[in-house]
Amino acid sequence: MLSGIQPTADSFHLGNYLGAIRQWVRLQETHDAFYCIVDLHAITVDHDPARLRERTRVSVAQLLAAGLDPELCTLFVQSHVPEHAQLAWVLNCLTGFGEASRMTQFKDKAQKQGAERATVGLFTYPILQAADILLYQANVVPVGEDQRQHLELTRDLAQRFNGRFGQTFTVPEPHIVKDTAKILDLQEPAIKMSKSASSPGGIIELLDDPKASAKKIRSAVTDSEREIRYDEERKPGISNLLTIYSALTGKPVPELERDYAGKGYGDLKKDLAQVVVDFVTPFQERTRKLLADPETLDTILANGAEKARRIAAETLAVVYDRVGF
């Protein structure tokens, strides 16, 4: 199994944690899991070098603080394994220009930046993503619905390569994660919590001051009724708070509805604020400890890269041989 996350923020947010990272922690128990901080992907848009370096380390520290265990999974930084870029080149040469042009995420991101400023790297992003997956012969790729098209491209490229040059790649199955929590913006519960779209009040950053996060929960936008009831359509704000509450405590939503029957929105918010504080406080402590020990972090990453490279180099050697290098 392979999954990646971009080091493009100073802190992961609650949506990243409940929608992705928490699943990673579970899946490392049952799968031979490769988790990649995709810094090559992070330079497809404007970036600051010193910040990228810092964010990569902070991302790794947070993943470890969240429960990733280097004994149970392979955690590494993409740029530490040169085979990603090498395989991506070969796959670039197998991808049709028209085929790449149909990727809707590029169209969206390019439009946001202004078409003239969008880079060729952003255009070929899904091909690098295919390389990430195919290098490890991953058969399971947990992705959100928004990544379905990219995974289809990965499958097409694997099949094309296998057909043209002989069986080389495992064709990965999309493991569309449906039952993961989708966390909404606290101020604008019509959109998802997101580092690019959320206002500061709408997003809980895991490394932010816990008091500030508690305040954001208490100020979350709800509705003008009084009943604490899960209803995504009509009560998205309250439903979102219940989702977060349930995900962080393990209490099923119906149980929470019973607990809060007859109580007010203020009671729910006050309790959830405490739940969030109780989660982020030790999380931050663990993250700080890891960042305060750069040698240990370097060792973890060096070991991760070495483990990843063993597999990646093996795949790339076959690919290079097959294409005539």
Encoding tokens for residue 226?
């009084």
Among the options 182, 192, 251, 307, which is catalytic? 192
240 interacts with ligand ADP by CB under 6 A: no
Please give the Cα distance from 128 to 40 (Å, whole number). Answer: 9
Residue 174 contacts which entry, Na ion, ligand ADP, none (Cβ below 5-8 A, type-dependent): none
Q: What gap in Å lies between CA 216 and CA 193, rounded to an integer?
A: 13
Is residue 194 helix, strand or coil? coil
Instruction: Report yes or no: 283 and 65 within 8 Å, Cβ to Cβ.
Output: yes
* 215 in catalytic set: no
Provide the token pair at 231. 């209803």
Look at the block and give the residue holding tokens 């955690």.
75
Active site residue 195: yes
Does 144 engage in binding with ligand ADP (CB under 6 A)? yes
Residue among 202 and 210 whose Cβ is closer to ligand ADP: 202
CB 35 within 8 A of CB 75: yes
Q: Could you tell me the smallest distance in angstroms from the CB atom of residue 180 to ligand ADP? A: 6
- Within 13 Å, how many C-alpha atoms sit on residue 82's CB side? 1
Q: Are 79 and 41 in contact (CB under 8 A)?
A: no
Q: How far apart are CA 178 and CA 180, in angstroms?
A: 6
List 107, 112, 195, 251, catalytic entry: 195
Nearest approach in angstroms of CB 133 to ligand ADP is: 14
Q: Could you tell me if residue 218 is left (phi over 0), alpha (psi between -120 and 50 degrees) or otherwise beta?
A: alpha
Q: Which listed residue (2, 5, 127, 158) binds ligand ADP by CB under 6 A?
A: 5
Q: Can you point out the beta strands (E) in 221-306?
A: none
Q: Which of 157, 170, 147, 168 is nearest to 93 (CA)?
A: 157
Does position 6 bind ligand ADP by CB under 6 A?
Answer: yes
| Residue, CB closest to ligand ADP | 19
Among 79, 162, 194, 249, binds ligand ADP (CB under 6 A): 194
237: partner contacted, choices ligand ADP, Na ion, none (Cβ within 5-8 A by kind)? none
Note if 109 is an active site residue. Answer: yes
Q: Which is nearer to ligand ADP, 88 or 143 (CB)?
A: 143
Residues 235-254 that bind Na ion (CB under 5 A): none
Q: Check residue 72 for interaction with Na ion (CB under 5 A).
A: yes
Alpha carbon of 173 to those of 95, 150, 250: distances in Å? 20, 12, 29
Q: Does 179 bind ligand ADP (CB under 6 A)?
A: no
Q: Which does 144 bind (CB under 5 to 8 A by kind): Na ion, ligand ADP, none?
A: ligand ADP
Size of the site for ligand ADP (CB under 6 A): 14
Pick one of 183, 272, 300, 316: the residue that binds ligand ADP (CB under 6 A). 183
- Binding positions are 6-8, 15-16, 132, 144-146, 183, 192-196
Q: Which helix (H) or strand (E) holds 81?
A: none
Sign of CA dihedral 184, 172, 130, 105: negative
* Interface positions, 16-35, toward Na ion (CB under 5 A): 28
Helix (H) or strand (E) holding 232: none
b (16+ CB within 10 A) / e for 154-173: bbbbbebbeeebeebbbebe
Q: Is 15 in the site for ligand ADP (CB under 6 A)?
A: yes
CA distance 17 to 29: 17
Q: Going residue by residue from 260 to 299, which x/- string records binding to Na ion, judged by CB under 5 A?
A: ----------------------------------------
Q: Which of 192, 251, 286, 307 binds ligand ADP (CB under 6 A)?
A: 192
User: Catalytic residues, which ones?
Assistant: 109, 192, 195
Q: Contact residues for Na ion (CB under 5 A)?
A: 28, 72
Q: Contact residues for ligand ADP (CB under 6 A)?
A: 5-6, 15-16, 19-20, 144, 182-183, 192-196
